Amino acid sequence: MKHKIKGDITSWNGSIYDFNSKMRNVKDDEDIELEINSYGGDVFAGIDIMNTLRGHKGNVTITITGIAASAASIIAMGANKIKMYANTQLMVHNAWTMVAGNAKQLRKVADVLDSIGESVLASYTHRVDAKTVKKLLDEETYLSAAKAKELGFIDEIVEGTAEAVESEVFQDKATEFNNALGSNDSKENEYITKNELKAYFDELKGTIQNTQKDDKTLETPAPVAASKRRVIF
């Protein structure tokens, strides 16, 4: 079975829907070849797909064709063999979310994120030791194909051209990444610095908040229980 997961890791993504449909009909021992090009999305959707692939009896090969960031990088960990094109990226970081509520509720959300962080960490440690993974998660790290292979996240580097990434949730950042693909050879910087990545997320959060303020049709939502919040990863 061959398939491609592209765009955001969300239940409404057509490539995710098609993947789940194909997995319901795949033979127990059938080989699977999966391509990934995604900025990530829902952490639990990513973990679910990863475990679905790990539990499959047939051989699973995943190839990263542009970027496997966040929840998409977790999906990649479900493969028996992981490949990356030489000019692609793998990104790992701790889960984050956007919340509203009183001090007690916010402290509760922090505890929930700590718990989710344990699950995120465990998603990588069958390939890379926990101490290394935790450091990379804490620093929100982009890895080149060469560095990902050196650390053990992937098995093989494929020569070729990276594919532009599609995204609705992270549309502006997808555009920036796609522009970077055309201007960089992926030979110099193996990491994006912590300050650069912090600025990236600060800008993203600001964009989301401004969009919500500008939409006059939106009503102020009541605080949502921590267990029901969607965790962006």
What would the pLDDT profile of 17-47 be if each residue is shown by its tens digit?
999 999 999 999 999 999 999 999 999 999 9
- Looking at residue 19, what is its pLDDT? 97
Hey, what are 181's tokens? 């693909």
What is the b/e burial string over 74-91, where b = at least 16 CB atoms within 10 angstroms of the residue's CB?
bbbbbbeebbbbbbbbbb
Whether 64 contacts 200, CB under 8 Å? no
Give SS3 for 83.
Answer: strand
- Helix (H/G/I), strand (E/B), else coil: 125: coil
**Distance of alpha carbon 195 from alpha carbon 44, whole angstroms:** 27
Mean pLDDT of all residues in 201-223? 54
Q: Is the pLDDT of residue 213 over 60?
A: no
- Whether 228 shows a pLDDT value over 50: the answer reads no
* Mean pLDDT of the residues in the chain: 84
How does pLDDT run across 141-194, given as a tens digit for each residue?
Answer: 999 999 999 999 999 999 876 677 777 666 666 777 667 766 544 444 445 555
Would you state the pLDDT for residue 214?
52
Return the pLDDT at 81. 98
For residues 68 and 169, which has the higher predicted lDDT (pLDDT)?
A: 68
The per-residue pLDDT for 121 is: 98
Q: Which residues have CB under 8 Å from 94's CB, separation 6+?
A: 113, 117, 120, 137, 138, 140
* CA–CA distance, 199 with 205 (Å, rounded to integer): 10
- The letter for the amino acid at 152 is G
pLDDT at position 220: 38
Q: Is the pTM of this model over 0.95?
A: no
The per-residue pLDDT for 165 is: 76
- Domains with residue ranges and CATH for the chain: 2-228 (3.90.226.10)
How many C-beta neighbours within 10 Å does residue 130 have? 11
Predicted confidence at residue 186, as pLDDT, reads: 42
pLDDT over 60 at 7, yes or no: yes
- Calculate mean pLDDT across residues 206-225: 50
The helix/strand/coil state of 118 is helix
**Segment (H or E) for 89:** strand 89-92
What pLDDT sits at residue 175? 72
